[in-house]
């Protein structure tokens, strides 16, 4: 309680004397950011431990602070989950740090995943050295776990490979601007040979895939998705492996 009162006093002083010099560092593992100064307001973002935000103002009642988010919008956070500090004029970040701050402020924004229910991504890349196009709709169970479907096509000169199935996705750092994730899925691959292909049979194989990637959130909640995973196509007679490397865009609702 004493620590909270001291922090509140320091923050009040900082917020009243400077706009860009008063900051908060998140000390809780996860800290929800609300649209207003209270837990009953809509949750607009989730701050991660160690992240730093500029203090805009303090609420006239209770222990809430208005902060500026990475995309330029604002939200309210409970003071018990933060630690205040001040950056004085003698703080001179290096060129790379200044460049990183400029890039982050210009193009990156908070992830919409922690308060979304569904998502949809469209990716293009290679599968076993051939082109592939994949759609992945997802149901977000919680900020960490999602159930994701996949459906795709790998068009080739001698055959078409159709993919379909479902996967579990584990987000390792939900809410982060650059968020890694892991995935494992199971489905089917239907092989349809071209009319001139007399070697490959028309067949349907089991399709097991495992891997992961990154979600990079830009301004306006546009998310770039990068995937790398290994596919195993098999039946009782034979099996083959292929690596997928793809990139695309994802949206969340």
Higher pLDDT, 179 or 112: 179
Domain boundaries, given as residue ranges, for the chain: 2-92, 114-252
- 2-92 and 114-252: identical CATH topology: no
Give the predicted TM-score (pTM) of the model.
Answer: 0.64
Query: Quick one: 146 exposed, middle or buried, by C-beta within 10 A (0-12, 13-18, 19+)?
Result: buried
Does 57 have pLDDT greater than 50?
A: yes
Name 66's bridge partners.
57, 76
Mean pLDDT computed over 189-215: 94
Q: Is 84 helix (H, G, I), strand (E, B) or coil?
A: strand
Q: Give the pLDDT band of residue 75 (cuts 50, 70, 90).
A: very high
pLDDT at 97 over 70: no
Write the CA distances from 95 to 76, 98, 102, 106, 150, integer angstroms: 31, 5, 10, 16, 43
Mean pLDDT of 183-198: 94
Which has more pLDDT, 78 or 221? 78
Higher-scoring residue by pLDDT: 138, 24: 138
Domain 2-92 is of which CATH architecture? Answer: Roll (2.30)
Strands (E), 70-202: 74-78, 82-86, 118-127, 130-140, 145-155, 159-171, 178-193
Would you state the CATH architecture of domain 114-252? Beta Barrel (2.40)
Q: Are residues 132 and 125 in contact, defined by beta-carbon separation less than 8 angstroms?
A: yes
Residue with the bigger pLDDT between 9 and 59: it is 59
Q: Report pLDDT for 106.
A: 63
What pLDDT shows up at residue 14? 43
């Amino acid at each position: 309680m004493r620590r909270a009162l001291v922090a509140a006093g320091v923050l009040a002083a900082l917020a009243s004397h400077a706009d860009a010099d008063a900051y908060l560092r998140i000390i809780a593992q996860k800290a929800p950011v609300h649209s207003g100064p209270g837990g009953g307001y809509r949750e607009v973002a989730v701050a991660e431990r160690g992240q730093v935000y500029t203090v805009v103002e303090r609420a006239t009642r209770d222990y809430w602070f208005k902060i500026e988010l990475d995309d330029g919008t604002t939200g309210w956070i409970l003071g018990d989950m933060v630690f205040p500090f001040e950056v004085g004029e003698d703080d001179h970040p290096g060129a790379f740090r200044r460049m990183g701050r400029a890039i982050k402020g210009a193009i990156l924004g908070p992830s919409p995943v922690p308060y979304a229910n569904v998502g949809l991504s469209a990716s293009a890349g290679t599968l076993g050295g051939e082109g592939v196009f994949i759609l992945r709709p997802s149901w977000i169970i919680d900020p960490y776990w999602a159930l994701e479907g996949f459906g795709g096509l790998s068009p080739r000169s001698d055959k078409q490979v159709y993919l379909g199935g479902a996967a579990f996705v584990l987000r390792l750092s939900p809410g982060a601007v650059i968020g890694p994730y892991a995935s494992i899925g199971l489905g089917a691959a239907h092989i349809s040979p071209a009319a001139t292909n007399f070697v490959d049979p028309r067949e349907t194989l089991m399709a097991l895939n495992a891997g992961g990637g990154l979600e990079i959130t830009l301004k306006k909640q546009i998310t770039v998705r990068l995937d790398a995973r290994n596919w195993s196509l098999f039946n009782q007679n034979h099996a083959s492996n292929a690596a997928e490397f793809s990139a695309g865009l994802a949206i969340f609702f």
